[in-house]
Amino acid sequence: MLLTVVIFMPLAVAAVLAAARGLPGRTASAVWVVASAVDLALVAWLWWRFEPGTGASGVVNGFASEVDLRWIPTVDAGYHVGADGLSLPLMALTGVLFLACAVYSLRETDRPRTYAALFLFLQTACLGTFAALDLILFFVFFDLTIVGMYFVIAGWGHGDARRSALTFFLYTFVGSLALLVGFIGLFLGSEPRTFDMVALAADPPLAGSPVAGGLVLLAIGLGLAVKTPLFPFHTWLPDAHTDAPATGSAVLAGVLLKLGTYGFVRIAMPILPEAWQRWATVVVVFGVVSVLWGALVALAQTDVKRMIAYTSVNHMGYVLLGLGAAGMVAAADEGARTVATVGAVYQMVSHGLLTGALFLLAGVLWSRGHTYAFDRWGGLARPAPLFAAALAVAAFGSLGLPGLSGFVAEFQVFTGALEAAPVATVIAVLGILVTAGLFLLALQRLLTGETTAPSPGRGPEPAGGGEGATAVRERTAVRVADLRAPELLAIVPLLALSVVLGLLPWVLLDVIEPAAAAVVELVGR
């Protein structure tokens, strides 16, 4: 039952905070930090007790702390949860990022009690999605994350926050409806009919039905592609990130985007192996296009936060490249396809740490000058050396510098995918060059030259920072406050973990590799 406690403890604390109307804001923020820290400690204990084996979808003894209870017996849907080498790293990432956001928000003054309760609710929804081993349970938690993030953006965002929140909700909710249609297709195609992921992976539905299997994969893929997001389903992302609060952006990019990529490796690949093989080339193409599109559009941005948002499209493209290559059974051996899958999962964790840190650092700029526009900032390395150092580490990690987690992830994706899809992989490597250029250019704009910042006394300029900021482009040399204690305590551990995973990758690889190998075996059967 430990896993159930991990999932629902944040929700229980959220309910207490929501009911405690007279609770001081600082106390509520402190309760949020303690609850997130305890939950992370429980995930760490679950990790410590976990023994990596050969289990993944379809192999029951590969799950830790498994619970399977009756829920909707008429359709064989149950409360079935468990953790393995695919879900456990992402649950740990969730715990780390939500704790970082809790620490970062210790000085939150805008309805801090409600803010803390909402994030704790969102934490339960994310953990439940990663732990779910039943399609209906997965869908319920998946949809709850949409609701939670909608209120975060609409209630605490800036700029045109309500419009961005509504766009986010409508896009992702429509995607989730497509996902539900796909799940119903899996149920109708199974014999006996069930929504249990383990049973479905052990006896894949729609085997020998290429048309039906392809249509169901299309529905599931569409729902997950919107959440990931992949080109061309990413158009909700830039505005949602730009107008969300810093902690909202960190969770959206660091955790919620992974729900999409996780769905591919947990559901689409092992439950629809024939369809995944048949359409693997299309998956690779979408991955490569997302890599290049995300990098090139990010390079053109004049707004720090929008730039970071588009790099998420780029990095999630690498994940799809690796997972697509894992389906090319005829073009590569099982070992290469396993390496590509391991790299894809590793990329999910690495991206969560580094991009989460980048969005929190972007939040520092907003708190100091109420703008993300590149042309309003400059020379920050002199007055804010801690900010400059943290930004440099996060940027170099995101562009794949050796010694940081991003390099290990991308190296494995490219190594595993090269045999299966050599042309696509070579093209995708160009994305690294563009990503390196855009991050180096961002560092140059923000950290070098004369120290400049938004003029004191001006109101916030439009969040987009581009054409809408032309009337307030004047810059004045000022002293910019460096990272404060809560910001340091939130950001530095994320970067430290990226360094650990860059120097000691076996810590994560030993957990991921057996489960990834089992998925690849299921796809190739």
Q: How far apart are CA 309 and CA 289, in angstroms?
A: 16
- Residue 25 CB-density burial (10 A; 0-12 exposed, 13-18 middle, 19+ buried): middle
Torsion angle (degrees, nearest 10) of CA 257, 223, 135, 130: 0
3-class secondary-structure state, position 79 = strand
Six-digit token string for 99 = 């704790």
pLDDT confidence band for 478 (50 / 70 / 90): low
Compute the distance between CA of residue 391 and CA of residue 446 in angstroms, rounded to an integer.
10
Cα Rg of the chain (Å, integer): 22
DSSP 8-state code for residue 458: P
Residue 467 CB partners (closer than 8 Å, separation 6+):
none
* pTM reported for the whole predicted model: 0.91
Q: What per-residue confidence (pLDDT) applies to 470?
A: 41
Report the pLDDT value the prediction gives residue 127, as an integer from 0 to 100: 96
Write down the pLDDT at residue 379.
85
Cα-based angle 18, 69, 76 (whole degrees, multiple of 5)? 110
Identify which has the larger pLDDT, 454 or 264.
264
Length of the chain: 525
User: Tens of pLDDT along 418-465?
Assistant: 988 899 999 999 989 999 999 999 999 999 878 887 865 444 444 444
Per-residue pLDDT, 320: 94
- The upper half-sphere exposure of residue 199, i.e. CA atoms within 13 Å in the direction of its Cβ, equals 17
Provide mean pLDDT across the span 332-352.
92
Helix (H) / strand (E) element for 83: namely strand 77-83
What is the per-residue burial (b if ≥16 Cβ within 10 Å, else e) of 236-270? bbbbbbbbbbbbbbbbbbbbbbbbbbbbbbbbbbb
The pLDDT tens digits for 234-258 are: 888 888 888 899 999 999 999 999 9
Give the pLDDT mean for 13-20: 92
* Per-residue model confidence as pLDDT tens digits over 95-145: 999 999 999 998 888 889 999 999 999 999 999 999 999 999 999 999 999
Determine the pLDDT at residue 434.
Answer: 93
**Is the per-residue pLDDT at 3 higher than 70?**
yes
Does the pLDDT at position 299 exceed 80?
A: yes
Residue 229: its pLDDT value, please? 87
pLDDT of 318 over the 80 cut: yes
* pLDDT for the residue numbered 139: 95
Higher pLDDT, 125 or 59: 125
Strands 475-476 and 453-454, by their bridges, are antiparallel
Instruction: Check whether 499 has a pLDDT greater than 50.
Output: yes
Provide the pLDDT for residue 260: 92
Q: What is the pLDDT of residue 51?
A: 80
Q: Answer yes or no: is pLDDT of 43 > 70.
A: yes
Separation CA 433–CA 512 (nearest Å) = 28
Tokens found for residue 396: 């170099």
For 185-229, the pLDDT digits (tens) are: 999 988 889 999 999 998 888 888 889 989 999 999 999 999 888
Structure confidence at residue 377 (pLDDT) = 86
Task: Tell me what the mean pLDDT of segment 169-183 comes to.
Answer: 92
Statement: residue 315 has pLDDT above 90:
yes
Residue 473: per-residue pLDDT = 40
Q: Is 276 left (phi over 0), alpha (psi -120 to 50) or beta?
A: alpha
pLDDT the model gives residue 53: 65
Lowest mean pLDDT among 127-141, 389-403, 437-451, 467-481: 467-481
pLDDT at residue 233, rounded to an integer: 85
How many CB atoms lie under 10 A from the CB of residue 299? 17
Residue type present at position 365: L
Mean pLDDT (the chain) is 88
pLDDT at residue 248, rounded to an integer: 93
